[in-house]
Homo-oligomer: A and B are copies of this chain.
Amino acid sequence: MPLSREKIAATAIRLADEHGLDGLSLRKIAKELGVGPMRLYDYVINKSELLDLMVDVVYARIAEVGQRSGWRDTVLAIAHATRDAALDHEWFSDVLGGRPHLGPHALAVGEATAAALSAAPGVRDIDDLQRAVGALNAFIVGSVRREVTERRTARATGTDEAAFQASLGPYLTRMLKTGRYPTVARLVIDGAHLNAEETFNHNLTTILDGITSRPAT
């Protein structure tokens, strides 16, 4: 089993899944592979390139959803696949939008979404398409990042009310008790029960409706 870019990327992904991107180091990857650290540089230029490799592996999984019947179903499938991938590989959300995704599978995903959106009503020319792709991707990136961040803090503080009160509570409740943030307070207190996937879905359709129902300029 002679070592390869794929094998390196695979173990790197596994380690990143377990210990996060900060806990990922070339030395640990090498040790996990039973190899000296410098061996990796025969297959990869940088840690940065290794990261690009990992990212494109994830995009390969996203690209697997393929094409659905209608443009809207395709977009929905890609968006949900992206979200699922980010929830499986939380480090993926740390990189989302932070560097250009130019791997072959990333391009394939981009092509699929762009092709789907170009068939949407309200998308008339290339400028419309560029804006639509931008809006959709921005929403996906932002949503996924937000959800992963929330999940992390929930895991760090503990899900239950008691642990929350113990960790963030003292500061946050004191802040909210000042009365300077009444709307935020209402959101925190009353609005914590919404399902994440439903919210994602809801906002996604809102965005798509906004794109398609745009009046002619």
Chain A positions near chain B (C-beta within 8 angstroms)? 93-94, 96-100, 102, 104, 107-108, 110-111, 114-115, 118, 126-127, 129-131, 133-135, 137-143, 145-146, 149-150, 153, 168, 171-172, 175, 180-184, 186-187, 190-191, 194, 199, 202-203, 206-207, 209-211, 213-214
Contacts and interface: CB of A to CB of B under 8 A. Distances in A.
B114 A184 contact: yes
Contact of A137 (B140, B146, B214): B146
A138 to B, nearest CB: 3
A215 B128 CA distance: 24
Most buried by B among A104, A150, A191: A191
Given A138-B143, A168-B102, A207-B207, A190 B126 contact: yes
A174 B191 CA distance: 50
A186 B126 CA distance: 8
B184 A110 contact: yes
A206 to B, nearest CB: 5
